[in-house]
Amino acid sequence: MFDTLWKEGPHYRQEKCEFWAEDGLIFLEDERDGTFAIITCADIKARAVALYKEAKRAANAGYMDSRDNLNEWVIKLGEVWKDAKDQGDPCDIEVAKERYKQRRKAVLVTGIW
């Protein structure tokens, strides 16, 4: 079902931020202040939608450079969101079931000696 479970996707860079999908989550590293965050697919989608709306406002106000920069962010966030969804969103119950099936099973053997 999810053939890319437990994998790291390609890294994207925008300005001084690097972000990538890993295990269905988005990892974000900001070099400006040294922060690191792990974001869910739903959160990154909401951020991309907010940036898209802001880009539309910038275009209407005549700030084309800002609009282009924001649109680049939206495109890259959309790509990393797709990578994370392809890996399987850990908040999704079907993905959790699949990962449970694929986990390593440990067996405790007693009384051998």
pLDDT tens, 89-107? 888 888 878 877 877 777 7
With respect to residue 45, please indicate whether it lies within any of the assigned structural domains.
Answer: yes
pLDDT at 112 over 80: no
Domain that holds residue 53: 12-102
- Which is nearest to 53 in space by CA: 41, 66, 43? 66
With respect to residue 77, please indicate whether it lies within any of the assigned structural domains.
Answer: yes
Domain count, the chain: 1
Comparison of pLDDT for 108 and 81, the residue scoring more: 81
With respect to residue 85, please indicate whether it lies within any of the assigned structural domains.
Answer: yes
pTM: 0.75
CA angle centred on 76, ends 55 and 12, rounded to 5°: 140
Q: Using one digit for the tens of pLDDT, what is the confidence trace for 34-91?
A: 999 999 999 999 999 999 999 999 988 988 888 899 999 999 999 999 999 888 888 8
> CB within 8 A of 26, min separation 6: which ones?
19, 20, 38, 39, 40, 41, 44, 80, 81, 84
With respect to residue 61, please indicate whether it lies within any of the assigned structural domains.
Answer: yes
Confidence of residue 1 (pLDDT cuts 50, 70, 90): very low
With respect to residue 2, please indicate whether it lies within any of the assigned structural domains.
Answer: no
Q: Which pLDDT value is given to residue 113?
A: 61
With respect to residue 46, please indicate whether it lies within any of the assigned structural domains.
Answer: yes
